[in-house]
Amino acid sequence: MSKGGQPKTVALHSYKGGTGKTQIAANLALIWALKGRNVCLLDYDFRAPSIGTLFGFDDNPFWINDYMMGRCEIDQALVDVQAQLHSGGKLLLGLANPSIKAAEEMIGQNEKVQLRSLRRTIEAKKSLSSKFGIDYIVIDTSPGPQYSSLNAVFASDILLVVMKRDKADIMGTSRMLDDIYNRSPGEKRILVNMLPPELDPSSVRAELEKRLRVPVIGIVPCYCDVSAVGGEALFALERPRHGFVETLRNISEESIFRIDR
């Protein structure tokens, strides 16, 4: 357990879509659970939720949307998938409602409701610790400056900014750092995904750290098979020796994620 008895909350965000953020979030959560940690994976991508699809759930009595809107408690909005792991720690999923109507409800909230959602996120951290002994909360988010994403960013202990090494992403991430990320209280790290094989990882790391002034925690090479079936396969479960999983496993062991039992 992290200091103070609170779970360590890791939010994954990106300037734009298509960075592979959801696949990274799901597999990091799986890696920690398979190591025996208790993990809760929350889907805050209310515009285009996909965690449920990855784990094979398309219907739920309550969604994380319902928790945010005060229609249920956090434990009612969770799905326990520990049995799928066959061993290891607890893995709970808080899934977002995939319906268009639900997305419109979440996107169209006023400032007062947005602030309540931030309080609900903070309250969830306490409940997940006291009721389930959760060690890590991993939050997948919508790209860009969506309020639900910013709630996750500001409630997190660690912000992983997932990006590709391209001009648009570098410029957009730089703006997000200036306007949003640097106002959040948590630690910040860059995670580069889908790096083309012709680029040298060491040079890319040096370039981004100099320009963005944030440490690069890891660089994930571009794997064609991950890109092809990334939305349908949980590599940490199905192909645990895959290079994609090995890279994420190394990232998951970085000292910034260390917790105390």
Q: Write down the pLDDT at residue 260.
A: 72
Tokens 């969770």 -> residue? 78
Tokens 């002994």 -> residue? 133
Tokens of 240: 């645990």
H/E stretch holding 160: strand 158-163
Residue 169: name the closest of 224, 207, 223 by CA: 207
Q: How far apart are CA 66 and CA 72, in angstroms?
A: 6
Q: How far apart are CA 119 and CA 114, in angstroms?
A: 9
Instruction: Give the domain ranges of the chain.
Output: 3-245
Q: How far apart are CA 193 and CA 155, in angstroms?
A: 24
Walking along the chain (261 residues) 10 residues at a time, the average pLDDT comes out as 69 96 96 96 95 90 94 96 87 96 84 82 93 96 90 95 96 96 95 97 98 98 88 90 97 93 56
Q: Write down the pLDDT at residue 261.
A: 56
Residue 50 CB: number of other CB atoms within 10 A? 19
The CATH-assigned architecture of domain 3-245 is 3-Layer(aba) Sandwich (3.40)
* Entry pTM: 0.95
Angle between helix 147-155 and helix 111-132 axes, rounded to 10 deg: 40
Burial class, 39, CB count within 10 angstroms (exposed 0-12 / middle 13-18 / buried 19+): buried
